[in-house]
Structure 1
Amino acid sequence: MKFKKFAAVILMSVMIGSMSLSGCGINKNATAVTMTGDAIDTIEVDMGYANFAARIQQASYDGIFASYYGEDYWTNESYAKNGKNMQDSIKDSVMENIETQCLLEAHMDDYGVEITDDEKAAMKEAAEKFMSDNTKSALKEVGATEEYVERYLYLQTVQQKMSTAIRATADTEVSDEEAAQRTFSYVKISLTTYTDDSGNQQTYTEDQVTVVKKDAYDAAEKAKTDFDGTASDYGYTVQTYSYGSDEKSESDGGFCDAVITAANSMKEGDVSDLIEGTDCYYIIRLDSEFDSDATEKKKQSIISDRQDEAYNNAVESYKKDIDINVNDKEWSKVVFDNLFTTPSASDSSSATAE
């Protein structure tokens, strides 16, 4: 079944690493989060499931980051953001996702979304395989039961189907005018650093900057008749950039304001004078006043943004009039103090045998 491949991605086989078991005392029957409101029946998620969802997320991170950042990366303050270490940040994300998935489940009828019997059967099969593929110690540490695994896959599928259904309501009509893109080729000439023959970054001396500036002015004149050839002669790298009416300012992450202003005043094929940027110069050639390929890509980007907005607005509306109460005392007991590793092929055989 198609679902089996999806399940395999969501549920990796995991093994306990070299760290000892902590026995953190999770009360799986305690309530992790309660959601109440006039538009829904009361939703309660138990700690057993919430812990499992968190530990599965941990396992997916451990397989990637532990070898790079060290075994303490979950609580190491060096990796903290906005006052929260990685463990607390990921736990917040997991809890928010659980809340979202449960609310999407409560609104499935709004979009005629259903989980078929075949999909449920595939979930059960995937859950059974997950339980048989892992050691008892790994299953205990991750808090897995067949019921939790099935529920996890069920909610993942609900979220996927609801996302598709909600996104389908977005307006997909985008005019050429709204998406229109202009494209220019450009060279950027740094006035501060360069890469030496060994590939190392070096800083220009004052005398070198004088030479770089003179070359840039000479190149700008020659580029008027042969943009690409001049760039090659001076060792400049030619790149392209497309932009439209929604181009952000340079301070907000857009291209250099002076370059965009120059490009807007040019006709197709025109080459600019030398344009001064921040610690650099630019020379540009306007390649297209209306780039059909770039415009089509922009249309798809606009549609995607609308679909994202439709989904996010729907989720926000579900949460707007809902009281969500997280059991912080119990949730704080979920800790990522043991690392999981993905087994090699030989390890997998041994783990299954065990």
Structure 2
Amino acid sequence: MKKTMKNRLAVAGLCFTLTAGMLTGCSGNSGKAIITLDGQKTEYAVANIMLRYSQAQMQAFYGAYLGDNLWSQYGDSTKSTMMDTLKQMLILEQHQDEYNVSLTDDDKKKIDEAAQQFMDDNDQATLKSMGATKERVARVLELYTIRNKMSNAIVADVDTNVTDDEAAQKTINYVVFSTADTTDSDGNKVVLTDDEKAALLANAQKVRDAAAGGKSMEDAVKDVDDTKTVSSTSYGDNDESYTLDEAIRNAADKLKDGEVADEVITTDAGYYVIQMKATYDPDATASKKERIINERKSSKFSEVYDAWQSAADYTQDDALLKEITFHDIYQMATEAQSETGTESTESTEDAGSTEATEAASETESAAATE
């Protein structure tokens, strides 16, 4: 049977409300301890509520593509990720006093309201199936809110100053005529012949000559092969890792703005025609600065969290975890399913502030890294 979930009220970056659906059975494990951290027990139902939120998100993104295969392929990994996240939340909560983090009266009020709304929006069959009570839902919301606050606090002193020398990015336009092996409709590998490769190289040369002669890359490609498109990529002299083939990078470094490489670049992947779009791309540089700052924050978060995690006395009941299944499918509800289907996330402004909302995605990345 299907259960539905809808976004309704946001608390500290978390949209969290379920709606009723036709259900089968209930969980008798709700009050059992699925996690024990330094003697503190966390109930099965708390993990189950968190998992159903993750399940509905996954269903919304991938359900249409994978259908019945979604949970047979990704059920175990989804549970594992959720448990890692829950573990992280509990450990962060354990150390909140070290960063003077706590729930404000306003946080508590909004969490209480959201938990009550959750209870009001679900029928008893749904709540019983999940083992959901107002206190357990509030507990989940508390953990999300504390994690957001702790994430902000841990990275608050990270250096956010990034110079242009550190982040400066060049951007090139390129067209590739691929010589990679392909697979036919029967699954057999298809390898290009020397004559086919020579024809591709000739087409690449035509594009290069036309672009060097003043045509735009787009027009030059269209005249030769209208199935090809012009792509672009950015890189910097100080980048420690990049996806550009060394031959392409070396050729690009010799170019000024607008110039086309003197020759077609041959790589293992195919034949490349490259043009320097900008030897200094301000937009790409700004994006690189942001990535550098986020990397610093992620590194700082990991440094602090890893030390706490190593010292924690943590156990989880894997046998109990196995009893969480995906036989029922949770879905995000649409507005058509409920007149109160959505509300603005403006209600988060006082519960953890906009920073908490922004921190959510950063913390998710940190959790995924862990």
What is the TM-score when the length of structure 2 is the normalising length? 0.75
Q: Do residues 54 (structure 1) and 58 (structure 2) align?
A: no
Displacement, 1:4?
4.1
Distance (whole Å) between structure 1 residues aligned to residue 76 and residue 257 of structure 2: 53
In structure 1, the gaps of 5 or more residues are 37-41, 80-85, 195-201, 350-354
Aligned residue number for residue 360 of structure 2 = none
Counterpart Cα distance in 2 of 1:21 and 1:53: 19
Q: Give the alignment partner of residue 231 of structure 2, picking from 239, 254, 262.
A: 239
CA deviation string 1:249-290 (max 9, x = no partner)? 7xxx70232111211233344321111123521121223333
Cα deviation code 1:42-93 (max 9, x no counterpart): 432122323332333334434554454344642x3xx2xxxxxx22222222
Residue number in structure 2 paired with 1:21? 24
Structure 2 counterpart of 1:83? none
User: 5 Å matches for 1:273-352?
Assistant: 273-343=263-333, 347-348=337-338
RMSD: 3.2
Query: CA separation of 1:176/1:130 partners in 2, compared to 1, >3 Å: closer, same or farther?
Result: same
Instruction: Give 2:94's aligned residue.
Output: 106
In structure 2, the residue matched to 1:11 is 16
| TM-superposed deviation, 1:230 | 3.4
Q: C-alpha deviations, 1:192-251, integer Å up to 9, x for none?
A: 799xxxxxxx998876654443233233334323151534543453332210135567xx
d(CA) in 2 for partners of 1:34 and 1:93? 17
Query: Which residue pairs with 1:129 in the alignment?
Result: 117
- Cα deviation, residue 9, structure 1: 5.1
The Cα of 1:145 is off from its aligned counterpart by: 0.4
**CA positional deviation for 1:133:** 0.8
Counterparts in 2 of 1:1-354, with a 5 A limit?
A: 4-6=9-11, 10-17=15-22, 21-26=24-29, 28-36=30-38, 42-66=39-63, 68-71=65-68, 73-74=70-71, 76=72, 79=73, 86-191=74-179, 209-228=197-216, 230-234=220-224, 235=226, 237-247=229-239, 254-272=243-261, 273-343=263-333, 347-348=337-338
Q: For the Cα contact (< 8 Å) 1:192–1:209, is it kept in 2? A: no
Which protein shows a greater Rg? Answer: 1
Give the conservation status (yes or no) of the 8 Å contact 2:12–2:145: no
Where do 5+ consecutive residues of structure 2 fail to align?
1-7, 183-189, 340-370
Percent identical across equivalent pairs? Answer: 30
Deviation at 1:155, TM superposition (A): 0.8
- Give the paired residue count: 321
Deviation of 1:151 (Å):
0.9
CA–CA distance in structure 1, aligned partners of residues 91 and 274 of structure 2: 51
AA at the equivalent of 1:25: G
Report if aligned partners of 1:14, 1:59 keep a CA contact under 8 Å in 2: no
